[in-house]
């Protein structure tokens, strides 16, 4: 896993993934207490950065393998990213989703052309076992959500863009806050920044009770969450950092930042009013850290990646009612 793979992924994504803009607001700068740059990956195809990793992985397969098809397991955003990337490559896709995933994400994944298989996450079924069975039966290639080099390479293209866009805005030293589940995006961005903007430092941001990356960075070994589901930040709830992603994060990332669910909802309401973007709770963790945990951030500027926007109207109304 290295910067060359990220650069190669960027070439494959050119003209397919969206280069998301870098947003700013003087009102948010005031709350954050420093210059705040927001990278809205909610504006990416399928509403999250996951399309980058999906496209990177599918486009890296040889023609025959791609024709047999791909399989992925995901709480929703990786599912949609892989489904659309596969469909655009005329590759069949099977997506294993937890049955308690937001209905919108399940519906969208099906509408994007995937065959969706639901499993019972609370009941202890292992999505990895189910995925392995399907992929062996049909000759499908498993695209893991984060612990997979070509997926990390795709997510890392976000970091190449951040390095370039921050430079254009004369931000050359800053913490780059990233909503973190298994660490695919965080480690990919960290590798890209190491090569392109070494004074920008990636830092994982997580919700309370699901702070596996933060605790792992402190203890120096992979820590596991007590729960693997629940809460409103479903997009970034994973059991633990990955075996590939964690060593990269350990080498390159600053300390994690842990935010509350209320802070995520508040950040969503501010993203609505000040940036005009729709962010889901898990996708707002980094923005919440930038806005409400300024004392844990270093430097005169900060970058926050809003990783996804696939939120039901009901949940969004809750954020507006409480903080709008």
> Does the footprint of a second copy cover residue 85 (CB under 8 A)?
no
Which of positions 101-140 make contact with a second copy (CB under 8 A)?
A: 104, 108, 111-112
Identify the residue among 5, 36, 47, 302 touching a second copy (CB under 8 A). 47
What is the nearest approach in angstroms of a second copy to the Cβ of residue 245?
26
Q: Would you say 248 or 278 has its CB closer to a second copy?
A: 278
Cβ-based neighbours of 200, under 8 Å, separated by 6 or more: 162, 163, 166, 171, 172, 173, 174, 175, 176, 193, 303
> Does the footprint of a second copy cover residue 21 (CB under 8 A)?
yes
C-alpha torsion 105→304→286→153, nearest 10: 60
Let me know if 145 is exposed, middle or buried by CB neighbors in 10 A (0-12, 13-18, 19+): buried
Identify the residue among 94, 151, 275, 287 touching a second copy (CB under 8 A). 275
What is the nearest approach in angstroms of a second copy to the Cβ of residue 47?
5
Q: What are phi and psi of 239, to 5 degrees?
A: -65, -40
C-alpha torsion 97→213→204→2, nearest 10: -80
> Does the footprint of a second copy cover residue 272 (CB under 8 A)?
yes
Closest CA to 324 of 272, 259, 284: 272
Q: Would you say 129 or 321 has its CB closer to a second copy?
A: 321
Q: What are phi and psi of 108, to 5 degrees?
A: -65, -40
Q: Would you say 30 or 300 has its CB closer to a second copy?
A: 30
- The residues that touch a second copy, with contacts defined as CB under 8 A, are 15, 18-21, 23-24, 26-27, 40, 42-43, 45, 47, 84, 104, 108, 111-112, 168, 269, 272-273, 275-279, 309, 313-314, 316-317, 320-321, 324
């Amino acid at each position: 896993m290295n910067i060359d793979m990220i650069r190669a992924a960027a070439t494959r994504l050119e003209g397919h993934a969206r280069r998301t803009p870098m947003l700013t607001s003087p009102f948010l700068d005031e709350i954050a207490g420093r210059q705040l740059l927001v990278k809205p990956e909610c504006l990416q195809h399928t509403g999250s950065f996951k399309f980058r990793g999906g496209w990177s992985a599918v486009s890296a397969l040889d023609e025959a393998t791609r024709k047999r098809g791909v399989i992925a397991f995901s709480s929703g955003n990786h599912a949609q990213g892989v489904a659309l990337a596969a469909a655009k490559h005329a590759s069949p896709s099977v997506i294993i989703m937890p049955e308690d995933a937001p209905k919108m994400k399940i519906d969208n994944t099906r509408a994007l052309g995937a065959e969706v298989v639901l499993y019972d996450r609370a009941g202890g079924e292992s999505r990895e076992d189910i995925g392995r069975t399907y992929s062996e039966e049909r000759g499908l290639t498993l695209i893991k959500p984060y612990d997979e080099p070509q997926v990390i390479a795709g997510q890392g293209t976000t970091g190449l863009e951040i390095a370039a866009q921050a430079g254009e805005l004369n931000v050359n030293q800053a913490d780059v806050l990233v909503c973190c589940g298994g660490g695919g995006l965080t480690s990919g961005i960290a590798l890209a920044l190491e090569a392109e903007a070494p004074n920008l430092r990636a830092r994982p941001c997580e919700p309370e009770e699901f702070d596996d990356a933060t605790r792992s960075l402190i203890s120096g070994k992979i820590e596991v969450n007590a729960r693997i589901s629940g809460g409103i930040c479903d997009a970034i709830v994973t059991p633990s950092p990955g075996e590939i992603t964690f060593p990269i994060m350990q080498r390159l990332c600053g300390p994690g930042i842990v935010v509350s669910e209320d802070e995520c909802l508040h950040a969503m309401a501010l993203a609505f009013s000040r940036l005009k973007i729709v962010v889901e709770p898990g996708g707002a963790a980094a923005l919440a850290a930038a806005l409400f945990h300024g004392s844990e951030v270093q430097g005169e500027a900060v970058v926050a990646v809003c990783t996804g926007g696939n939120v039901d109207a009901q949940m969004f109304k809750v954020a507006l009612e409480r903080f709008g």
